Homo-oligomer: A and B are copies of this chain.
Amino acid sequence: MNPPRHLDLVDLGERLRRKSHKLTGPRQSILTVLRENVRPLSNKQIHAALQPGECDLATVYRSMRLLEEAGIVKRFDLGDGLARYELLREGDDGHHHHLVCNRCASVVEIAECFTGELEERIARRNGFQAVTHRLEFFGVCPACQ
């Protein structure tokens, strides 16, 4: 039930320090919240999950941006125009997708993806380079049917 070891705070602090950033109290709190929640969380959700006074909302915004640039979290867009974040394990490019319930907003992580062949063909045909994609699924979950 515990998060994987390579996502422990010591390791995460190490990854921050490598980029001359600091593992501060507020950041520890934020990372702990992310470790305890598998689903992508918005800034407001992260802030709400913290103890009152543990970290300012503005600091959550600043931290999430920094953590994203440092490759420690990945940003997802689940269609409601809110930035959401998930912890990334080291070396992971975080490429996966979500299946989101339109009614209750519950989220299932999807490992599968279509073959890169489609992506390559689209890139080639249009002369684009370094092509990636974002893919999210939406539907009605069993509990909401």
Task: State the A residues within 8 Å of B (CB).
Answer: 77, 79, 81-83, 99, 101-102, 108, 110, 112, 114, 118-119, 121-123, 126-142, 145
Q: List the number of copies, as a whole number.
A: 2
Contacts of A140 in B (CB 8 A): 128-130
CA distance A128 to B118 in the complex (A): 25
CB closest residue in chain B, given A83: B81
CB closest residue in chain B, given A123: B139
- A135 lies within 8 A of B132 (CB): no
Given contact pairs A110-B122, A122-B112, A139 touches B135 in the complex (Cβ within 8 A): no
> Which of B77, B99, B112, B139 is close to A79, meaning CB atoms less than 8 Å apart?
B77
- A82 lies within 8 A of B81 (CB): yes
Given contact pairs A83-B81, A99-B122, A139 touches B134 in the complex (Cβ within 8 A): no
Contacts of A134 in B (CB 8 A): 79, 134-136, 138
Contacts of A135 in B (CB 8 A): 133-135
List 21 contacting pairs A-B, 8 Å CB cutoff, sorted by A: A77-B79, A77-B81, A99-B122, A99-B128, A101-B128, A108-B126, A108-B128, A110-B122, A112-B118, A114-B118, A123-B137, A123-B139, A127-B142, A128-B142, A129-B139, A130-B140, A131-B137, A132-B137, A132-B138, A133-B138, A134-B136
